[in-house]
Chain A
């Protein structure tokens, strides 16, 4: 479904991605783990088009989208939950969710989808008229996910959904991720919390200083000695 070949990207003269290649198949939950500054977020931003590629290619369902404008990729049913949630703080929770369906025009469908989100995240319904900036970190994470799901994505890119959350909330977020996978959404999950991510993933990639250093099934990576030493703290 998503195929990345030899992708490079620069911030000015600093190279952040040194030829990344990976693949996400339809229906899979693929995790990308790695330390701080490995280039995980840059990779996701290049996939969603927020960050330009300087070489290599990103293709989605056989179409090369390397040069496609970020806002047009949403129409291909790709959605990203960005690092640090990035909710629209001054807008109400409801407006945030509604903006997730910006590219949709069927009003009845949008209303039904909003009800679905409120069903999945009851706390958001309770706080629907509050400014998104007043929500707690976990609630903002749920809002960011609800907002992304409003576009009915087939490929969901999740960037550090567990960042800054309590262990209980991390479990809650990850169970939602698993639930989404069961519903047929393809998921590419970027995480520093390698244990949690790899234990729910079908496959995983380990990223180091802008390249993929290791790949395999989630289980295999969890038991890999170098991964254990470097990322799992075991």
Chain B
């Protein structure tokens, strides 16, 4: 393996982990409501921008990060409570348009309140690159990867082992039957939006020291995360993680070996190919069902 290849791989995996987290956010909300939440990217942006804001208030880094995640989660809850819940009974397309509206509102709010400038968050543990096999990796990349792995494991545990997690899956599979079990499906939706927002914020904070952030940073990250979710099969959590990695690595390789100006196009070319040849996504389940 050449050092060059390794270098591209490192940056691809780092990007991929971020996309994976964003994609997971899409999947969680999709599962609970069949809504594609186009404000997911804004959750990501708000995590980064929120951290910048709280750091500016003089809060120490860990506190600023937690505060930003909490603030974004509140926005997630708010989006469900004040925009999605009142439209209950509306078609999924209507709900999706509502999330697009919400994303514009969030961008506008951040722009007005926190400004248009680009901001950087300091890296969590220095900027001294680590040499591996002739390539270098930033300590922040290790943070991105490590925290992503932890979050993915925690989510798996939540959905596979806890009764609340199973209730969310049950609701996504069959809303009426979930109601008959006594599951409060409105609460499930509420929790899903909060959880997605928190995940998005975490992704935004992790990546902000590498890519900088501003009020529009969520647009591209959101779209790439969406590609990740589609690529892996919408609603499939592990698929979104794999999809994120594929998009991230393909993008880095595309930028490195092909034309760097087109790096953003790589993700969209991939998603077109998947939609042409395997519309349910690479890991989309066709489902075993008997009637």
Contact = CB atoms under 8 A, between A and B. Distances in A.
Contacts of A91: 166, 169-170, 173
Contact of A80 (B163, B174, B180, B290): B180
Contacts of B184: 69, 71
Interface stretch (A18-26, A97-105, A199-207, A219-227): A97-105
Contact of A70 (B169, B180, B287): B180
Nearest to A45: B176
A97 to B, nearest CB: 11
Interface string A70-95: 11101100011010101111110001
B96 interface: no
Interface in A5-19: none
Contact of B173 (A71, A88, A147, A164): A88
A35 interface: no
A48 B170 contact: no
A135 interface: yes
A140 B163 contact: no
Interface string B175-212: 01111111111000000000000000000000000000
A49 B181 CA distance: 12
B169 A137 contact: no
B179 A87 contact: no
B167 to A, nearest CB: 6
A89 B287 CA distance: 9
Contact of A82 (B180, B182, B288): B180
Given A80-B180, A102-B182, A102-B183, A137 B290 contact: yes
A89 B185 contact: no
Nearest to A105: B163
A71 B183 contact: yes
B181 A133 contact: no
A140 B177 CA distance: 13
A60 to B, nearest CB: 15
B289 interface: yes
Contacts of B182: 71-72, 74-75, 102-103, 151
A181 to B, nearest CB: 21
Contacts of A86: 174, 176-177, 180
A88 B180 contact: no
Contacts of A80: 180
A218 B108 CA distance: 67
B177 A82 contact: yes
B228 to A, nearest CB: 21
A100 B183 CA distance: 10
B289 A133 contact: yes
Interface string B126-168: 0000000000000000000000000000000000000100110
Interface in A34-92: 48-50, 69-72, 74-75, 79-80, 82, 84, 86-91
Contact of A88 (B163, B170, B185, B288): B170
**Max count, chain A CB within 10 A of own CB: residue among B163, B167, B169, B285:** B163
A173 interface: no
A70 B170 CA distance: 16
A71 B290 contact: no
A136 interface: yes
A70 B178 CA distance: 10
A134 interface: yes
Nearest to B179: A70
A147 B181 CA distance: 8
Interface of B: 163, 166-167, 169-170, 173-174, 176-185, 285, 287-291
What 8 A-B pairs come out closest when comparing CB atoms? A74-B182, A103-B182, A86-B177, A70-B179, A133-B289, A102-B181, A88-B173, A88-B170
19 contacts: A50-B179, A71-B181, A71-B182, A71-B184, A71-B185, A74-B182, A79-B180, A86-B176, A88-B178, A90-B169, A90-B173, A90-B285, A91-B166, A102-B181, A103-B182, A131-B288, A137-B291, A140-B290, A148-B180
